[in-house]
């Protein structure tokens, strides 16, 4: 990559970093991205896709497949700890997953395509909203404008702390776990603390369910049977000595490698909850948030990425197990061949979603070049 382009992309990354917007609120980021894309000469830019999603289309004018590159617009509701001059200007919000860096890489692809159209087919650069809540990709695909994109292949990457800076890992088949937040509300009846027998307290059911749900999914090897349950939040009544509680809430994150195992785990968890609640005379309401389906890489798309890394001389390793964390990128696999790869952010780099995390700028040219080569490889055959 030319040094001028690299420094321009780094500058844009820093600008985006200063104004992080959380899932569903990416209005300003989408406007900046749309303006930057317009300057990179696409045939069209679509906006407002599935919320604040943006897409730039580069059409070769000759028949061929549509290749899409996908990145994310959203930051996180976490206060950043940073001494960088480009630190977040929004209190309590930060680009702590590196989506600012992912956007810069895809802007690099836009800039190059603006000067050199794809050989055939079309290239679509997707900036999707609301990845962190698991809602963005689904909303993006469900938007009527998605029919104008209709990709045959979709590639994406996520930077990965813990992996050597600039190294690539990817796997065939399951790439990211399915997960969902299970919110359990137990309702009984409050009473005077002096007469608990007049009420129905959820304390007993909560005391049963805490260990029962924490041990329902034990984790272990990341195979088709893998199931992990993590209790993330619990409360019971109000902080007072005068009232016996009538309400309790318990939040548990369910995680599996496959969507089938997730369906079973949900059933097991719901049966356990209902049994405890009913035995104690409580009513129960179960709702789900942050629902992520499992993400699978297609063999053909993995081969294309592997070849792109070889051509670009980037160290690339096929790994046998998926990542435990979830990704809504899996949604794009419905109707397209997809693959996501992990790009090392450095062995000792702060982890994603940590307050002191910052995307390593050195990755920008590597990501852009792998994507450009993957596009060429896909359109060549």
Q: Which pair of structure tokens corresponds to residue 187?
A: 């309702």
**Shortest reach from residue 131's CB to Zn ion, in Å:** 6
**Shortest reach from residue 121's CB to Zn ion, in Å:** 28
Q: How many residues bind Zn ion (CB under 5 A)?
A: 1
**Closest CB to Zn ion among residues 160, 379:** 160
CB-CB contact of 368 with 175 (8 Å)? no
**Shortest reach from residue 321's CB to Zn ion, in Å:** 19
Please choose, out of 36-44, 93-101, 200-208, 368-376, the segment that lies near Zn ion by the rule CB under 5 A: 93-101
Residues 6+ apart with CB under 8 A from 163: 169, 342, 343, 344, 345, 346, 347
Residue from the set 97, 177, 182, 257 that interacts with Zn ion by CB under 5 A: 97
Please choose, out of 24-32, 42-50, 95-103, 182-190, the segment that lies near Zn ion by the rule CB under 5 A: 95-103
**Shortest reach from residue 102's CB to Zn ion, in Å:** 8
**Shortest reach from residue 327's CB to Zn ion, in Å:** 8
Q: For residue 174, what are the β-bridge partners?
A: 296
CA quadruple 16, 22, 24, 26: dihedral, nearest 10: -20
φ, ψ dihedrals at 92, nearest 5°? 75, 5
* Chain CA centroid to CA 166, Å: 20
Rounded alpha-carbon distances, angstroms, from residue 159 to 14, 52, 128, 221, 258: 16, 23, 17, 23, 23
**Closest CB to Zn ion among residues 58, 342:** 342
CB-CB contact of 30 with 50 (8 Å)? no
Q: Which residue has the tokens 């990965």?
A: 160
**Closest CB to Zn ion among residues 103, 379:** 103
> CA 157 to CA 295: how far, in whole Å?
13
**Closest CB to Zn ion among residues 130, 186:** 130
**Closest CB to Zn ion among residues 161, 188:** 161
Binding mask 158-197 for Zn ion (x = CB under 5 A): ----------------------------------------
**Shortest reach from residue 352's CB to Zn ion, in Å:** 5
Contacts to Zn ion by CB under 5 A: 97
């Amino acid at each position: 990559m030319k040094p001028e382009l690299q420094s321009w992309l780094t500058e844009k990354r820093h600008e985006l970093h200063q104004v992080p917007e959380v899932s569903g609120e990416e209005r300003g980021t989408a406007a900046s991205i749309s303006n930057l894309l317009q300057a990179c000469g696409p045939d069209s830019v679509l906006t407002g896709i599935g919320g604040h999603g943006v897409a730039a289309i580069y059409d070769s004018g000759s028949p061929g497949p549509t290749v899409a590159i996908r990145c994310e617009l959203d930051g996180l509701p976490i206060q950043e700890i940073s001494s960088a001059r480009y630190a977040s200007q929004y209190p309590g919000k930060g680009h702590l997953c590196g989506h600012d860096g992912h956007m810069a890489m895809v802007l690099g692809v836009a800039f190059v395509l603006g000067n050199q159209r794809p050989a055939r087919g079309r290239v679509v650069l997707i900036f999707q909203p609301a990845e962190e809540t698991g809602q963005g990709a689904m909303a993006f695909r469900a938007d009527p404008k998605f029919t104008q994109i209709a990709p045959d292949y979709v590639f994406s990457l996520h930077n990965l702390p813990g992996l050597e800076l600039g190294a690539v890992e990817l796997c065939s088949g399951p790439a990211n776990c399915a997960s969902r937040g299970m919110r359990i509300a137990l309702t009984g009846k409050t009473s005077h603390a002096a007469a608990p027998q007049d009420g129905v307290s959820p304390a007993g059911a909560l005391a049963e369910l805490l260990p029962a749900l924490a041990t329902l999914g034990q984790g272990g090897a990341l195979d088709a049977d893998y199931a992990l349950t993590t209790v993330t939040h619990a409360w019971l009544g109000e902080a007072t000595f005068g009232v016996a509680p009538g309400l309790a809430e318990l939040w548990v994150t369910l995680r599996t490698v496959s969507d089938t195992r997730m369906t079973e785990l949900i059933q097991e968890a719901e049966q356990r909850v209902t049994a405890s609640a009913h035995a104690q005379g409580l009513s129960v309401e179960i709702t789900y948030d942050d629902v992520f389906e499992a993400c699978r890489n297609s063999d053909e798309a993995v081969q294309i990425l592997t070849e792109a890394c070889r051509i670009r001389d980037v160290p690339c390793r096929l790994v046998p197990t998926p990542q435990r964390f979830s990704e809504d990128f899996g949604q794009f696999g419905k109707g397209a061949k997809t693959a996501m790869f992990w790009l090392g952010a450095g062995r000792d780099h702060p982890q994603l979603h940590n307050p002191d995390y910052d995307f390593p700028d050195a990755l920008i040219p590597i990501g852009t070049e792998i994507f450009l080569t993957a596009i060429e490889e896909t359109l060549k055959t």
